[in-house]
């Protein structure tokens, strides 16, 4: 059984927390670019100074991250993908509850770790076009010990650029999350209510 404390934070996500920390202080204006590489690069460059501010309260971090989540990630799409085949099995009420819980859990799980950011370097590389809408932005995170972590951002160009997946060392966070959610639901007799209960417990409700 997957312990509740690990819900939504599989091992690759612990590395990803460092990368996502670079998004915390993104000003509204930098999302106006339609270049995927610039989108990711400017996000990181503009965030670093604010992330080192130890005077930011946890409530403020959560508020900032929630805004970032809505502005730079295709959150509803990611949430639906993470639920996989169970999305269609969920009632309308369960879908609404799940989307709200998914957002709240990500905010609390990730924002809580931003205070530990230690100024790792973020380097953006080439862009690989998958199709007319989707692009992979290649990047590296250089840790303080010199280790380089390869991170690829899948960015979709709709009305605005939005991140729809992050691959850390080749591991898709969206697929990892979907597998984890499926395991929790299956452990609860295939009932989506089991996942909703686990999410509620994790965020302290």
Q: Are strands 161-168 and 148-157 parallel, antiparallel or unpaired?
A: antiparallel
pLDDT on residue 66: 84
CB-based contacts of 85: which residues, under 8 Å, 6+ apart?
A: none
- Kindly report which listed range (25-39, 93-107, 174-188) carries the lowest average pLDDT score: 25-39
What are the structure tokens assigned to 197, written together? 């209960």
| CB-CB contact of 47 with 147 (8 Å) | no
pLDDT, tens only, 129-188? 999 999 999 988 887 788 888 989 999 998 889 999 989 888 898 898 899 999 999 999
Confidence band of 1 (pLDDT split at 50, 70, 90): very low
Average pLDDT over residues 18-35: 57
- Host domain of residue 128: 4-202
| CB-CB contact of 79 with 102 (8 Å) | yes
Identify which of 39, 43, 76, 44 has the alpha carbon closest to the alpha carbon of residue 164. 76
The domain tally of the chain equals 1
Higher pLDDT, 17 or 140: 140
Placement of tokens 């996500």 in the chain: 13
pLDDT on residue 51: 46
- Kindly report which listed range (42-46, 90-94, 110-114) carries the lowest average pLDDT score: 42-46
CATH number for the domain harbouring residue 41: 3.10.450.710
| CB-CB contact of 161 with 176 (8 Å) | no
- CA dist 142 and 119 (Å) reads 10
- CA dist 56 and 93 (Å) reads 36
**Mean of per-residue pLDDT scores for the chain:** 80
Residue 117 has pLDDT above 60, yes or no: yes
């Amino acid at each position: 059984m997957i312990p509740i404390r690990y819900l939504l934070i599989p091992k690759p996500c612990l590395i990803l927390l460092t990368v996502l920390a670079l998004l915390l202080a993104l000003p509204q204006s930098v999302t106006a670019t339609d270049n995927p590489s610039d989108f990711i690069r400017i996000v990181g460059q503009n965030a670093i100074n604010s992330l080192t501010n130890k005077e930011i309260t946890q409530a403020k971090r959560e508020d900032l991250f929630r805004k970032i989540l809505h502005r730079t990630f295709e959150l509803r799409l990611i949430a639906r993908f993470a639920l996989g085949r169970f999305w269609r099995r969920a009632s309308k009420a369960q879908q609404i509850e799940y989307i709200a819980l998914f957002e709240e859990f990500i905010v609390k799980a990730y924002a809580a770790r931003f205070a530990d950011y230690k100024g790792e370097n973020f380097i953006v590389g080439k862009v690989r076009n998958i199709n007319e809408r989707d692009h992979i932005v290649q990047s590296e995170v250089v840790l303080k010990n010199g280790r380089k972590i390869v991170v690829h951002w899948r960015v979709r160009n709709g009305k605005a650029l939005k991140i729809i997946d992050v691959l850390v060392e080749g591991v898709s966070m969206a697929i990892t999350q979907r597998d984890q959610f499926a395991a929790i639901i299956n452990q609860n007799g295939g009932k989506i209510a089991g996942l909703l209960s686990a999410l509620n417990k994790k965020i302290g409700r």
